[in-house]
Structure 1
Amino acid sequence: MPRKPLKPCKNPGCPELTQDRFCERHRHQHERTSAAQRGYDHRWRKARDKYLRENTLCVNCLKSNRLTKATVVDHIIPHRGDNKLFWDKSNWQSLCKRCHDKKTMTEDRYQEYKY
C-alpha cells in the first residue's frame, strides 16, 4: 500500500522531510509534558480548591460589575516551569473559565522577551 508523501518539518527554516509534523531533531522542542509533570498534581488541586473557597468571584468580571463564580486559579505572570513563581500565591487570581481562556489566548500565549 502506498504511503503518504513526506512533507517539510513545521519548525521554521527546517528543510527536513518527515511523515509527522516535526523531524526527529525538532520533535522534542514541541512535545508537551503531562499536567502532573508540569506541577498540576494532587498538591496543586488542594491549594487550588482552598484558594477558590476563599476567592469565589472572578476578578475580571468584578471589574465590569458582573458577579461570576470563579472556577480557575490563574497565574497572573505565567510560571513557564518556574516552581517558585508557580507556588507564589501573590501571583494567583481567581477567574471564570471564559476570562481564563481569553487571557490565556491573548496574554499568555507567547513568551515575551525583555531586553
Structure 2
Amino acid sequence: MSKWPYITSKWKRLRLAKLSECPVCFACEQRGLTELATVVDHMKPISQGGDPFPSLDGLLSLCARCHNEKTSGFDRTHGNANGRRFKGCDANGNPIDPADGWWGHP
C-alpha cells in the first residue's frame, strides 16, 4: 500500500473518516460476526476505473482477511465469473455482497 493514492494526506483523511463511520468489517458483519475493520477498500477498484477518492459510500471498511479475499478474488482478476466481491450468505441465506442481484431481497 505504498503507492499513489494511498500515500497522500487526502487518502489518509478519507480512510480515517470511513473507519470512524464504520469501525466494523462490513463482510464479517453480514456473516453475523463482529471483527474490527483495519482496511478501507474501494468498492470499484481504481484498476477498474474507480475513483481514487470516492465519497464514503464508495468505500468499504474491512478486516485484513476480507480485504485480501476481495482483492485476490475480484480486484486482481478484474471481476470474477459471478461478479461477487465476497463469498457467503448471511443467517437468512442472502448473499453478503451488495453487488449481488439478490442482495437485500427478503
Q: Which protein has the larger Cα radius of gyration, Structure 1 or Structure 2?
A: 1
Look up the match of 2:36.
69
Q: In structure 1, what is the Cα distance between the partners aligned to 2:48 and 2:68?
A: 19
TM-score normalised by the chain length of structure 2 = 0.64
Moved over 3 A (4+): none
- Deviations along 1:30-77, one digit per CA (max 9) or x if unpaired, are xxxx51xx2111221121012101111101001110000001111111
User: How far apart in 2 are the matches of 1:49 and 1:88?
Assistant: 14
User: Which residue of structure 2 aligns with residue 78 of structure 1?
Assistant: 45
- Counterpart of 2:12? 45
- Pair 1:54-2:21 in alignment: yes
Query: Which ranges in structure 2 are unaligned for 5 or more consecutive residues?
Result: 80-106
Query: Could you tell me how far 1:95 is from its partner in structure 2?
Result: 0.4
Output the TM-score relative to the length of structure 1. 0.59
**1:99 corresponds to which of 44, 57, 66:** 66
Distance of 1:109 and 1:57 partners within structure 2: 24
**Runs (5+) with no aligned partner, structure 1:** 1-33
Q: CA RMSD in A?
A: 1.8
The alignment-based identity, stated in percent, is: 33
Shift in CA distance, 105/93, structure 1 to aligned 2, threshold 3 Å: same
Size of the alignment, in residue pairs? Answer: 76
